Protein backbone atom coordinates (compact mmCIF):
# COMPACT_ATOMS: atom_id res chain seq x y z
CA UNK A 1 0.00 0.00 0.00
CA UNK A 2 1.33 3.43 -0.95
CA UNK A 3 1.38 6.42 1.36
CA UNK A 4 -0.76 4.75 4.01
CA UNK A 5 -3.58 4.12 1.52
CA UNK A 6 -6.03 1.53 2.78
CA UNK A 7 -7.18 -1.32 0.60
CA UNK A 8 -10.44 -3.23 0.55
CA UNK A 9 -11.06 -5.94 3.10
CA UNK A 10 -13.64 -8.72 3.22
CA UNK A 11 -14.86 -9.75 6.65
CA UNK A 12 -15.79 -13.37 7.44
CA UNK A 13 -17.14 -14.78 10.66
CA UNK A 14 -15.68 -18.12 11.79
CA UNK A 15 -16.14 -20.35 14.81
CA UNK A 16 -13.22 -18.59 16.49
CA UNK A 17 -13.88 -14.98 15.49
CA UNK A 18 -13.91 -12.51 12.61
CA UNK A 19 -11.25 -12.78 9.90
CA UNK A 20 -10.30 -9.88 7.62
CA UNK A 21 -9.16 -10.91 4.12
CA UNK A 22 -7.13 -8.38 2.16
CA UNK A 23 -5.30 -10.50 -0.44
CA UNK A 24 -7.16 -10.07 -3.78
CA UNK A 25 -6.64 -13.72 -4.81
CA UNK A 26 -8.14 -14.99 -1.57
CA UNK A 27 -11.02 -12.53 -1.87
CA UNK A 28 -11.65 -13.81 -5.40
CA UNK A 29 -11.67 -17.43 -4.19
CA UNK A 30 -14.12 -16.58 -1.42
CA UNK A 31 -16.37 -14.60 -3.75
CA UNK A 32 -16.73 -17.74 -5.88
CA UNK A 33 -17.28 -20.04 -2.90
CA UNK A 34 -20.11 -17.82 -1.64
CA UNK A 35 -22.08 -19.25 -4.57
CA UNK A 36 -21.67 -22.84 -3.35
CA UNK A 37 -19.22 -25.74 -3.54
CA UNK A 38 -16.51 -25.45 -6.21
CA UNK A 39 -13.82 -27.88 -7.33
CA UNK A 40 -10.14 -27.07 -7.03
CA UNK A 41 -9.70 -27.15 -10.81
CA UNK A 42 -12.55 -24.67 -11.26
CA UNK A 43 -11.00 -22.30 -8.73
CA UNK A 44 -7.68 -22.47 -10.55
CA UNK A 45 -9.34 -21.87 -13.91
CA UNK A 46 -11.27 -18.84 -12.71
CA UNK A 47 -8.28 -17.22 -11.02
CA UNK A 48 -5.71 -17.43 -13.81
CA UNK A 49 -3.08 -18.39 -11.22
CA UNK A 50 -0.87 -21.46 -10.91
CA UNK A 51 -2.23 -24.51 -9.09
CA UNK A 52 0.49 -24.17 -6.44
CA UNK A 53 -0.56 -20.57 -5.75
CA UNK A 54 -4.24 -21.43 -5.34
CA UNK A 55 -3.37 -24.45 -3.22
CA UNK A 56 -1.30 -22.29 -0.88
CA UNK A 57 -4.11 -19.76 -0.51
CA UNK A 58 -6.69 -22.48 0.15
CA UNK A 59 -4.47 -24.04 2.79
CA UNK A 60 -4.14 -20.69 4.57
CA UNK A 61 -7.91 -20.09 4.40
CA UNK A 62 -8.55 -23.58 5.78
CA UNK A 63 -6.15 -22.98 8.69
CA UNK A 64 -8.11 -19.85 9.60
CA UNK A 65 -11.38 -21.79 9.56
CA UNK A 66 -12.77 -19.90 6.56
CA UNK A 67 -13.00 -22.76 4.05
CA UNK A 68 -13.26 -26.54 4.17
CA UNK A 69 -12.97 -29.34 1.63
CA UNK A 70 -14.21 -32.83 0.84
CA UNK A 71 -13.32 -35.53 -1.71
CA UNK A 72 -14.87 -35.23 -5.17
CA UNK A 73 -17.95 -37.28 -6.00
CA UNK A 74 -16.44 -38.98 -9.06
CA UNK A 75 -12.77 -38.86 -8.09
CA UNK A 76 -11.77 -38.72 -4.43
CA UNK A 77 -8.38 -37.32 -5.42
CA UNK A 78 -10.05 -34.14 -6.66
CA UNK A 79 -11.13 -31.88 -3.81
CA UNK A 80 -14.31 -29.86 -3.56
CA UNK A 81 -14.08 -26.66 -1.52
CA UNK A 82 -16.80 -24.80 0.40
CA UNK A 83 -17.17 -22.04 2.99
CA UNK A 84 -17.11 -22.95 6.67
CA UNK A 85 -17.60 -19.29 7.59
CA UNK A 86 -20.15 -16.59 6.79
CA UNK A 87 -19.63 -13.34 4.91
CA UNK A 88 -20.16 -10.31 7.17
CA UNK A 89 -19.36 -7.40 4.90
CA UNK A 90 -16.61 -5.30 3.39
CA UNK A 91 -14.38 -2.41 4.25
CA UNK A 92 -13.94 -0.33 1.10
CA UNK A 93 -12.48 3.14 1.80
CA UNK A 94 -13.13 4.16 -1.80
CA UNK A 95 -16.88 3.76 -1.25
CA UNK A 96 -17.06 6.13 1.70
CA UNK A 97 -19.97 8.56 1.75
CA UNK A 98 -20.25 12.01 3.27
CA UNK A 99 -23.23 12.78 5.44
CA UNK A 100 -24.18 15.21 8.19
CA UNK A 101 -25.45 13.07 11.04
CA UNK A 102 -26.06 16.12 13.23
CA UNK A 103 -28.50 17.54 10.69
CA UNK A 104 -30.58 14.38 10.79
CA UNK A 105 -30.45 14.32 14.59
CA UNK A 106 -31.91 17.83 14.65
CA UNK A 107 -34.92 16.60 12.66
CA UNK A 108 -35.61 14.05 15.37
CA UNK A 109 -36.44 16.76 17.92
CA UNK A 110 -39.71 17.59 16.20
CA UNK A 111 -40.92 14.00 16.61
CA UNK A 112 -39.34 13.20 19.96
CA UNK A 113 -42.71 12.26 21.41
CA UNK A 114 -42.87 9.20 19.16
CA UNK A 115 -40.55 6.36 20.34
CA UNK A 116 -40.38 5.00 16.80
CA UNK A 117 -38.54 8.15 15.69
CA UNK A 118 -35.81 7.35 18.20
CA UNK A 119 -35.47 3.78 16.88
CA UNK A 120 -35.22 5.10 13.33
CA UNK A 121 -32.59 7.63 14.41
CA UNK A 122 -30.55 4.90 16.11
CA UNK A 123 -30.72 2.58 13.09
CA UNK A 124 -29.86 5.30 10.59
CA UNK A 125 -27.01 6.70 12.70
CA UNK A 126 -25.42 3.26 13.13
CA UNK A 127 -25.66 2.36 9.46
CA UNK A 128 -24.59 5.74 8.09
CA UNK A 129 -21.70 5.94 10.56
CA UNK A 130 -20.38 2.67 9.13
CA UNK A 131 -20.90 3.85 5.54
CA UNK A 132 -18.99 7.05 6.30
CA UNK A 133 -16.06 4.82 7.25
CA UNK A 134 -16.49 2.74 4.09
CA UNK A 135 -17.92 -0.31 5.90
CA UNK A 136 -20.80 -2.23 4.34
CA UNK A 137 -22.64 -4.74 6.55
CA UNK A 138 -25.31 -5.72 4.03
CA UNK A 139 -24.75 -9.50 4.43
CA UNK A 140 -24.97 -9.13 8.22
CA UNK A 141 -28.21 -7.13 7.92
CA UNK A 142 -29.67 -9.76 5.62
CA UNK A 143 -28.94 -12.59 8.06
CA UNK A 144 -30.46 -10.49 10.83
CA UNK A 145 -33.59 -10.07 8.71
CA UNK A 146 -33.73 -13.83 8.12
CA UNK A 147 -33.53 -14.50 11.87
CA UNK A 148 -36.31 -11.99 12.55
CA UNK A 149 -38.40 -13.58 9.78
CA UNK A 150 -38.22 -16.95 11.51
CA UNK A 151 -39.33 -15.34 14.76
CA UNK A 152 -42.31 -13.36 13.41
CA UNK A 153 -43.67 -15.68 10.71
CA UNK A 154 -46.45 -16.85 13.06
CA UNK A 155 -47.81 -13.30 13.03
CA UNK A 156 -48.46 -13.30 9.27
CA UNK A 157 -48.99 -17.01 8.49
CA UNK A 158 -52.19 -17.77 6.57
CA UNK A 159 -53.88 -20.69 4.77
CA UNK A 160 -53.52 -19.05 1.33
CA UNK A 161 -51.37 -16.48 -0.47
CA UNK A 162 -54.02 -13.75 -0.64
CA UNK A 163 -54.64 -13.89 3.13
CA UNK A 164 -50.90 -14.01 3.76
CA UNK A 165 -50.40 -10.82 1.72
CA UNK A 166 -53.21 -9.11 3.61
CA UNK A 167 -51.56 -10.05 6.90
CA UNK A 168 -48.23 -8.78 5.58
CA UNK A 169 -49.74 -5.39 4.73
CA UNK A 170 -51.22 -5.05 8.22
CA UNK A 171 -47.98 -6.23 9.90
CA UNK A 172 -45.84 -3.74 7.94
CA UNK A 173 -48.08 -0.79 8.80
CA UNK A 174 -48.63 -1.80 12.43
CA UNK A 175 -44.88 -1.98 13.05
CA UNK A 176 -44.11 1.15 11.00
CA UNK A 177 -41.97 -0.78 8.52
CA UNK A 178 -43.60 0.98 5.56
CA UNK A 179 -46.72 0.81 3.44
CA UNK A 180 -47.08 -2.15 1.07
CA UNK A 181 -48.95 -1.39 -2.17
CA UNK A 182 -49.14 -2.18 -5.92
CA UNK A 183 -49.26 -5.95 -5.38
CA UNK A 184 -49.17 -8.37 -8.31
CA UNK A 185 -49.41 -12.16 -8.06
CA UNK A 186 -47.72 -13.40 -11.23
CA UNK A 187 -44.94 -12.85 -10.50
CA UNK A 188 -45.39 -11.84 -6.87
CA UNK A 189 -44.20 -8.27 -6.54
CA UNK A 190 -45.10 -5.18 -4.55
CA UNK A 191 -43.94 -1.70 -3.63
CA UNK A 192 -43.03 -0.43 -0.16
CA UNK A 193 -43.54 3.27 0.49
CA UNK A 194 -41.92 5.06 3.45
CA UNK A 195 -39.60 2.07 3.93
CA UNK A 196 -38.14 2.29 7.44
CA UNK A 197 -34.83 0.78 6.35
CA UNK A 198 -33.80 3.18 3.63
CA UNK A 199 -36.13 6.18 3.26
CA UNK A 200 -33.87 8.25 5.53
CA UNK A 201 -30.56 7.00 4.10
CA UNK A 202 -28.42 9.24 1.90
CA UNK A 203 -28.45 8.50 -1.83
CA UNK A 204 -26.18 5.47 -2.34
CA UNK A 205 -26.96 4.73 -5.99
CA UNK A 206 -27.91 1.13 -5.22
CA UNK A 207 -30.60 -0.87 -3.36
CA UNK A 208 -29.96 -0.90 0.38
CA UNK A 209 -32.79 -2.91 2.00
CA UNK A 210 -30.75 -5.93 3.03
CA UNK A 211 -32.67 -6.46 6.27
CA UNK A 212 -36.02 -6.36 4.48
CA UNK A 213 -34.75 -8.69 1.75
CA UNK A 214 -33.76 -11.30 4.33
CA UNK A 215 -36.98 -10.85 6.30
CA UNK A 216 -39.23 -11.14 3.24
CA UNK A 217 -37.28 -14.09 1.83
CA UNK A 218 -37.89 -16.12 4.98
CA UNK A 219 -41.55 -15.09 5.31
CA UNK A 220 -42.40 -16.09 1.74
CA UNK A 221 -40.30 -19.27 2.01
CA UNK A 222 -42.14 -20.37 5.14
CA UNK A 223 -45.51 -19.50 3.63
CA UNK A 224 -44.90 -21.32 0.32
CA UNK A 225 -43.02 -24.30 1.76
CA UNK A 226 -40.08 -23.81 -0.60
CA UNK A 227 -37.09 -21.51 -0.80
CA UNK A 228 -38.02 -18.07 -2.12
CA UNK A 229 -35.86 -15.00 -2.69
CA UNK A 230 -37.01 -11.40 -2.21
CA UNK A 231 -35.15 -9.46 -4.91
CA UNK A 232 -35.15 -5.69 -4.49
CA UNK A 233 -35.69 -4.03 -7.87
CA UNK A 234 -36.04 -0.38 -6.77
CA UNK A 235 -35.00 1.50 -3.64
CA UNK A 236 -35.11 4.98 -2.13
CA UNK A 237 -31.33 4.73 -1.64
CA UNK A 238 -30.94 4.19 -5.39
CA UNK A 239 -32.94 7.33 -6.16
CA UNK A 240 -36.28 5.62 -6.81
CA UNK A 241 -39.66 6.91 -5.51
CA UNK A 242 -40.25 3.72 -3.49
CA UNK A 243 -38.80 0.29 -2.84
CA UNK A 244 -40.05 -2.65 -4.90
CA UNK A 245 -39.55 -6.35 -4.30
CA UNK A 246 -40.09 -9.35 -6.55
CA UNK A 247 -40.46 -12.77 -4.93
CA UNK A 248 -38.81 -15.48 -7.03
CA UNK A 249 -38.28 -19.22 -6.40
CA UNK A 250 -34.73 -20.28 -5.62
CA UNK A 251 -33.61 -22.99 -8.09
CA UNK A 252 -33.02 -26.29 -6.37
CA UNK A 253 -29.43 -27.54 -6.45
pLDDT in tens, 142-185: 999 999 999 999 999 999 999 999 999 999 999 999 999 999 99
Q: Which pLDDT belongs to residue 68?
A: 95
User: Is 218's pLDDT higher than 90?
Assistant: yes
Q: Which pLDDT belongs to residue 6?
A: 52
Q: Which pLDDT belongs to residue 132?
A: 80
User: Is 66's pLDDT higher than 90?
Assistant: yes
Q: What is the mean pLDDT of the chain?
A: 88
Buried-state track 41-73, b at ≥16 Cβ within 10 A, e below 16: eebbeebebeeeebeebbeebeebbbbbbeeee
Q: Which residue, 46, 116, 106, is CA-closest to 81?
A: 46
pLDDT in tens, 220-243: 999 999 999 999 999 999 999 999
d(CA 85, CA 41): 22
pLDDT in tens, 83-136: 999 998 888 766 666 666 666 666 666 656 777 878 878 888 888 888 887 888
More confident residue, 76 or 146: 146
Amino acid sequence: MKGGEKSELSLYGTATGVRAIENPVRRHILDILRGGEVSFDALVGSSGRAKSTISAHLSALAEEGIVGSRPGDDDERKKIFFLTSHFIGEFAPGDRISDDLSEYASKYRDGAHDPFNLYRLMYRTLRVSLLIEGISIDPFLRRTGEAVGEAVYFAVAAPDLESFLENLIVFWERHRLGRISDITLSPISFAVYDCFECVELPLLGRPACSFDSGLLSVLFSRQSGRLMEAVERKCYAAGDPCCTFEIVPVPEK
